[in-house]
Chains A and B, each alone.
Chain A
Amino acid sequence: MTDLRRPRRGTLNSIWQNWRLYVMLLLPVAFYIIFCYKPMLGVGIAFTKYNPVKGMWASKWVGLDNFKFVMKMPDFPVALGNTLLLNFMGLIAGFPVPIILAILLNELRSTRVKKLSQTLLYLPHFLSWVIIGGMVLQIFAPTTGVVNATLLKWGWIDENIPFLTEGWPWRITYTLVGVWQSMGWGTILYLSAITGINMELFEAAKIDGANKLQQIWHVTLPGIRSTIVVLLILNVGQMMNISFDRPYIMGNTRVQNYCDVLSTFVYRAGITNAKFDRATAIGLFQSVVGLIMVGTANFVTKRLGEDGIW
């Protein structure tokens, strides 16, 4: 990459020459400033007794009171534990799948079949969780769900399989549905990384007598290793973050102890009664832990001799 670097005094000159590119850059930069950096000032809400009518600056400063209040609630450790566990399960089950899938797709000879299967795999990504939640209920509900109803009728099982009604089975259902939903979409980055691998390497491997599996192992995988590492670090950084809709919709009261995560907890403890200060406190806590995790993951990968993300 060093060849792209210009002498320092040329920077202005280069901006001048490429002004169109910089104008195009303005939009995303503005996006990040307006929607990502400016709202960050709002974390101050976490330290006030926030009055949404008067605004943050007019609200009373209370230090760490909101954090203490929220963390003392008995549901908080449960939600925290569930968040970490569900995300961890998602990572273990969900991370390798797109890689495998991308490699398989890449090996498909017929472009038609490849295009078709790609499209079909992407589809679930565009379904809202509300719809997926409805489908999951239709398929996995006790007695009336397709799976249980069929198996009961055939006499293969005497009792319902508790897909949605017991702790561990629910966790597994939750994880696998998540894998199904996101695996197709996840292949995109890997597929483009595979396309970037020099074809000569494959030819050389073939000439050396490598079969398909050996080619995958010795050429494809090393070729996309840096992509894998970057995505892994980013995923680890997301360990504390969990979307609201997925656990909220897939969960139910019977498994409340297993499906209650930080986002649903925030919703109850903060948002329902306009306690925005408490909601912000939890959000800030999540971000800080997330940052620490990304930092750690990055540090470890660098130590292992890979390029980190910074």
Chain B
Amino acid sequence: MKKTLSLIMALVMLLSMASIPAFAEEEGWITLRVEAYDRSIAGFNVEDCWQLKYAQENFGNPNKIKLQFVPVPRWTEGDVLTTQLGGGTAPDICMTYNGSLVNEYITYEGLWQLDDLLDQYGSNIKAFLGEDLLKFGQQDNDGDGEKEQWFLPARRLNVANVGNFIRKDWLEKLEMEEPTDIESFTAYLRAAKEANLGGERTIPMQFDLYESDPLYNVVRFMDAFIDFSQVTEEDWFAYAGLHEMLPGSKEGYRWLNTLFHEGLLYENFDINDDTATDSALLNGYFGFFSMQPDQPWRTDKNYQKEMEAAVEGAWWTSVNPFKNESLGKTLHDVYAANGLSIILPKPEGAKEEVAIAAIKYIDWMCQPENMFAMQNGVEGINYLAKTEDGIPCQVQSADNVPDENKMHAGDICFISNGLYYGSDEKNSAALALAFDEKYAEEVTASYVDAYIDAWTQVSFSIPIQASTDYGAMVKSKQGEFLSKVVTCAPEEFDATYDAAIQATMNTGASEIIEEQLAAYKAGEFRGTFPGAAQ
């Protein structure tokens, strides 16, 4: 017995020593590790997906590069990346929405500078992204007055951001028109509650408090209350990300407070986790919710379809009620043209050949035929036909695709945020085709709404150091702010609001405002001011 045991032990040790180097260093091969968001889509294995196999076969094998996808949970990507970068274990290509983190690592000199690499190996990347977009990834880090390329911004084809959805079937039952301003919208909420249209657990209006950006979901309603007669362009940029401090916003939050006490809001918006929200959404308890313009109809998670299965006749439609009276417009913010920030980490001892392989891989991805395959999959499996223009149609939802062919266009083909077919016309024509035919009209209408009176989100072309220092603290205070002003007793609203704003200011918001103002005055800003005279 002892002998067998020791034999096994020895074998195990031998194997474990022998196997690792043998695998990694086949002659002349390089391993390229690429971060890949994992959204826990049932049956979709990021580490061994169809897109990986396709890229390995068509890019990896000819170039002697072994591709590896490193799954990172989508909703904690920033934290995971922070840890990986700090420990020097980050994949060779990473992507994140956390701009402050990227800025930090630029100043740490922890990223590959991309100018020369792009010149030598990135002609297709340059062509796909274009000069203007590349500028988003440029920063002057060595202080010579010239900006260097530190990251690649993903190209966002469709910049629409806001989708507001209302229950069409409820409107019909209530014999009401689609609300067009705050007043008629409020009337709808009250009527829906009174008639208990979603059953005992009716929640006329839902919004979420996301910890990473607490006001993300409500600022789109609240902007309707800003009094633009009192807001200058300077204010707009200085207070970017802090709209709750702009004149008029207070009345917006007072409105939410009223709704809360009338029982018209999702009571546990600041307590529950997303799963509770999801199940309430699928069970048809909500009368209104607000997310991305295509949210209810996405093929990877189709809220509309699932809700219909639970509640007969339930139907989401896009609505446009948040009219700013001081402008007479229903404002919608749209994204800037950049998406994710794509970085090549450069830890101690990083090899240039890996960075070259990384740029080559992204360059390969930017070639139209490769991007088409990486975004659309296989005809006959992921989509059933093509239009005259060569745009895939009859796109299959995830549950109709066998596991080995499941894919995620945006996460794996990260350089493009949105499906790319070569021209703006084709891209927007393709938008509706990417959804179940039954809902195509709703999706199109929602996108039209999302671009009405659109203004582009504000960002700055120099790093705002105060955001890095205090950003997370300020966000947490904003969460507290939202929770407090919505739930406090109506008679305490004014005091609560003022105190919460003061607390945000004290936590670092005042430093951020100061620095953003300076950046604005220096001309280092992007985005638009909706109050500008036209």
* Chain A interface residues toward B at CB < 8 A: 51-55, 73-75, 134, 137, 141-144, 164-165, 252-254, 256-257, 260, 268-269, 271-276
Closest 6 CB pairs of A and B: A53-B110, A253-B270, A253-B483, A268-B472, A272-B472, A253-B479
Let me know if A273 and B472 touch, CB within 8 A.
Answer: yes
Let me know if A269 and B480 touch, CB within 8 A.
Answer: no
Let me know if B209 and A253 touch, CB within 8 A.
Answer: yes
Q: A269 CA to B471 CA in the complex, in Å?
A: 9
Known contacts A54-B108, A272-B79; is A252 also within 8 Å of B507 by CB? no
Q: Which positions 78-93 of chain B face chain A at CB distance < 8 Å?
A: 78-79, 82, 85-86, 88
Known contacts A53-B346, A253-B480; is A273 also within 8 Å of B270 by CB? no
Measured between C-beta atoms, what is the minimum distance from A121 to chain B in Å? Answer: 28
Q: Which positions 289-343 of chain B face chain A at CB distance < 8 Å?
A: none
Let me know if B271 and A142 touch, CB within 8 A.
Answer: yes
**Does B101 touch A at the CB level, under 8 Å?**
yes
**Does B214 touch A at the CB level, under 8 Å?**
yes
Main secondary structure on B side of the interface with A: helix
**Does B246 touch A at the CB level, under 8 Å?**
no
Of the candidates A257, A271, A274, A276, which one forms a contact with B480 in the assembled complex, judged by CB atoms under 8 Å apart? A257
| A73-B508, A142-B267, A164-B271 known, 5 other contacts, Cβ within 8 Å | A52-B86, A52-B108, A53-B347, A143-B267, A253-B482
* Chain B interface residues toward A at CB < 8 A: 78-79, 82, 85-86, 88, 98, 100-101, 104-105, 108-110, 201, 209, 211, 214, 267-268, 270-273, 276, 346-348, 468-469, 471-473, 476, 479-480, 482-483, 487, 503, 506-508
Measured between C-beta atoms, what is the minimum distance from B527 to chain A in Å? Answer: 22
Let me know if B214 and A253 touch, CB within 8 A.
Answer: yes
Known contacts A272-B79, A274-B105; is A55 also within 8 Å of B348 by CB? yes
Let me know if B108 and A137 touch, CB within 8 A.
Answer: no
Let me know if A273 and B468 touch, CB within 8 A.
Answer: yes
With both beta carbons as reference points, the residue of chain B lying nearest to A143 in the complex is identified as: B267
Q: A181 CA to B201 CA in the complex, in Å?
A: 32
Let me know if B472 and A276 touch, CB within 8 A.
Answer: no
Measured between C-beta atoms, what is the minimum distance from A211 to chain B in Å? Answer: 50
Of the candidates B98, B272, B276, B480, which one forms a contact with A256 in the assembled complex, judged by CB atoms under 8 Å apart? B480
Q: Please name all residues of chain A whose beta carbon is closer than 8 Å to the beta carbon of B271 when the two chains form the complex.
A: 137, 141-142, 164-165, 252-254
Let me know if A53 and B105 touch, CB within 8 A.
Answer: yes
With both beta carbons as reference points, the residue of chain A lying nearest to B81 in the complex is identified as: A274
Let me know if B471 and A53 touch, CB within 8 A.
Answer: no
Of A134, A143, A256, A272, most buried by chain B (CB within 10 Å of CB) is A272
Known contacts A53-B108, A75-B507; is A274 also within 8 Å of B85 by CB? yes
Of the candidates A51, A74, A75, A254, which one forms a contact with B108 in the assembled complex, judged by CB atoms under 8 Å apart? A51
Q: A254 CA to B85 CA in the complex, in Å?
A: 33
Q: Please name all residues of chain A whose beta carbon is closer than 8 Å to the beta carbon of B211 when the two chains form the complex.
A: 253
Measured between C-beta atoms, what is the minimum distance from A79 to chain B in Å? Answer: 11
Q: Please name all residues of chain B whose beta carbon is closer than 8 Å to the beta carbon of A254 when the two chains form the complex.
A: 270-271, 483, 487
Of the candidates A134, A143, A165, A272, which one forms a contact with B78 in the assembled complex, judged by CB atoms under 8 Å apart? A272
